A and B are shown apart, each in its own frame.
Chain A
Amino acid sequence: SQQGEEDPQALSIQEGENATMNCSYKTSINNLQWYRQNSGRGLVHLILIRSNEREKHSGRLRVTLDTSKKSSSLLITASRAADTASYFCATPPTSGSRLTFGEGTQLTVNP
């Protein structure tokens, strides 16, 4: 079964608005990652947050992690049409480097 589950499955917003995507996971983790995938392309790593961190920023991205609720959120501020993509959370086991991906949130930013 999938470790991570993103919510919502699809999100449509206007350019300039903020987009928030959520991820829930089932087992203990030592980090959680977010990836972006443009249509028909490979995934691109966006940000990694460790289990002892609660919040992390990278440019217009803000990620939070709540290990007590086993959940994470990705916030994209001041969205642009170029942010249109699918966004995935991914978690590794406590040992080893293989990742388990959720099914993704499809974000559409309308110009």
Chain B
Amino acid sequence: DVKVTQSSRYLVKRTGEKVFLECVQDMDHENMFWYRQDPGLGLRLIYFSYDVKMKEKGDIPEGYSVSREKKERFSLILESASTNQTSMYLCASSPPGRYEQYFGPGTRLTVT
């Protein structure tokens, strides 16, 4: 079974802090994605990556950056956390040539 893990289930940070959200998948998938999920807005794509050291902006990249130094790990970085970044963050991966995505359990981030 594909396993996607995220570093924290719950996280509380202060405004202005730098926040790292880590995602690791164990199935050698090339594609990895970061979403945020908010009530009434559904899932929105922040960034995605098709390969190591490669990244593409999604629909809402502002205020975020990503890092993919190894194939299995995709990190989401909030350079200076703000209260409007309070959300559920979901990581996903998919193998090349396939469309279905495998999701991690999510990180609920609260910025105070």
Contacts and interface: CB of A to CB of B under 8 A. Distances in A.
**Chains A and B come from one and the same complex:** yes
Interface in A57-111: 88, 90, 92, 97-104
Contacts, number: 54
A40 B4 contact: no
Nearest to A31: B99
B48 interface: yes
B42 A40 contact: no
A5 to B, nearest CB: 9
Given A40-B108, A44-B103, A45-B101, A97 B31 contact: yes
Nearest to B104: A42
B42 A88 contact: yes
Contact residues on B (Cβ < 8 Å of other chain), bracket: 20 to 34
A33 interface: yes
Contacts of A41: 105-106
B33 A98 contact: yes
Contacts of B4: 42
Contacts of A48: 99-100
B42 A2 contact: yes
Contact of B103 (A31, A42, A100, A104): A42
A28 B102 CA distance: 24
Interface residues of A, number: 22
A41 B90 CA distance: 9
Most chain-B Cβ atoms within 10 A of its Cβ — which of A2, A33, A43, A100? A43
Contacts of B104: 42
B90 A43 contact: yes
Interface in A15-64: 31, 33, 35, 40-45, 48
B24 to A, nearest CB: 14
B25 interface: no
Interface of B: 4, 31, 33, 35, 40-43, 45, 48, 50, 58, 88, 90, 92, 94, 98-106, 108
12 contacts: A2-B42, A33-B99, A35-B103, A42-B103, A43-B103, A97-B31, A97-B50, A97-B99, A98-B48, A101-B35, A103-B40, A103-B41
